[in-house]
Amino acid sequence: MYEFNIIIVSILKDKVRPVFPFTAIVGQEEMKLALLLNVIDPKIGGVMIMGDRGTGKSTTIRAIADLLPKIEVAQNDLFNSHPSDYDLMSDAVKTQVEKGDHIPTQFIDVPMVDLPLGATEDRVCGTIDIEKALTEGIKTFEPGLLAKANRGILYVDEVNLLDDHLVDVLLDAAASGWNTVEREGISVRHPARFVLVGSGNPEEGELRPQLLDRFGMHAEIKTVKEPSLRVKIVEQRSKFDSNPYVCLQEFQEEQDRLKSSIATAQDRLSNVTIDYDLRVKISEVCGTLDVDGLRGDIVTNRAAKALAAYHNRTNVDIDDVKTVITLCLRHRLRKDPLETIDSGNKVQQVVESILK
């Protein structure tokens, strides 16, 4: 009986908790597009998703992670180091490469890391064991969530309630691709390349504008009003909750097709070009909207290229730009408390007048 219980526990431990299929999610096209483009090109800079409670934000974010192809990492490495890309290696792996040592590798699922609201800076960044460093001369680093999220997705639910200092740390790491921990003159640096995804409810407070600007894209989602769509959403969720494996089987073909499209788009991305005239038009839109800095121009160019790659093209067209530009610019506009027009509509008005 004892051995039987051990077997049951082992089976349950190995059993992966089913994730709601991305292709089964009804509506919320803006959020789904923003997430897809960010996994095709993580350099877009992540996405902030703001919307009503109970609109499937968390479900969609976890579903996109489940779609991504496995990644190759150095075996037993704490930072998911890439075995050949120097920029994605920890110092220990770099040392092995420089010595010419063989690096054993393994394939793992793309990391999906949740950052809890109550997390401390040490939990996020990692800690250095000062006592061991001083007494034994050994630099011992306990990795944090940024290390675990390297080459994956870091998800912060209710990011607008997160301590501003932690948001600064996250955005700096996301922008630079590195996390540096310094304690008592001892410093450890490791790669931290991840897609930063934040979600929140605007009723609970806004992010500071300078922090909001650091997110590549901003998706706004609203509760579905159409009765037939609401019924369809409820049916899909009920079907999944009653028997997730049957639901997964039903959408397996669509999931496989989308997985293949993402992988192909990632490979094609480096060959996608955008004509000079179209780049000028993008910058003209940003200038007309009085967008501060150049992040809006850069992100719009990147997102348009990712969309072209997703659509099996190597050249960006004007429709690609029109599709992504609101997502890239709406959160970068200066807020006027007396203005009644929505920021997304304002972007669209300028886009229609310039991108003809």
Asked whether residue 17 is assigned to any structural domain, the reply reads no
Residue 254 pLDDT level (bands cut at 50, 70, 90): confident
Number of structural domains found in the chain? 2
* Residue whose tokens read 């990632």: 266
Residues 312-320, mean pLDDT to the nearest whole number: 91
Greater confidence (184 vs 88) lies with 88
Domain housing 117: 24-68+109-223
Q: What tens digit of pLDDT does each residue of 22-78 get?
A: 887 877 788 889 999 998 998 888 888 887 777 677 778 888 888 888 888 888 888
**Residue 350 amino acid letter:** V
Same domain, 192 and 113: yes
Contact 58, 157 (CB under 8 A): yes
Q: 168-171: long-range contacts (C-beta < 8 A, 24 or more apart)?
A: 168/211, 169/121, 169/124, 169/125, 170/115, 170/124, 170/146, 170/196, 171/196, 171/211, 171/214, 171/215
Same domain, 276 and 190: no
Contact 45, 197 (CB under 8 A): no
Q: List the one residue out of 101, 100, 103, 69 whose CA is nearest residue 88.
A: 103
In angstroms, rounded to a whole number, what is the distance separating the alpha carbons of residues 127 and 252? Answer: 41
Residues 233-252, mean pLDDT to the nearest whole number: 80
Same domain, 52 and 191: yes
Q: Which of 156, 191, 223 marks a domain boundary? A: 223
Same domain, 174 and 29: yes
**What single-letter DSSP state applies at residue 43?**
G
Q: What tens digit of pLDDT does each residue of 172-204 get?
A: 787 788 888 777 666 778 888 888 888 887 777
φ/ψ of residue 50, rounded to 5: -115, 135
Same domain, 48 and 172: yes
Q: Provide the whole-model pTM.
A: 0.81
257 included as an active-site residue = no
Same domain, 40 and 150: yes
Same domain, 41 and 188: yes
What do you get for the CA distance between the two ends of the chain, in Å? 74
Q: Which of 195, 223, 251 marks a domain boundary? A: 223
Catalytic residue among 151, 214, 268, 295: 295
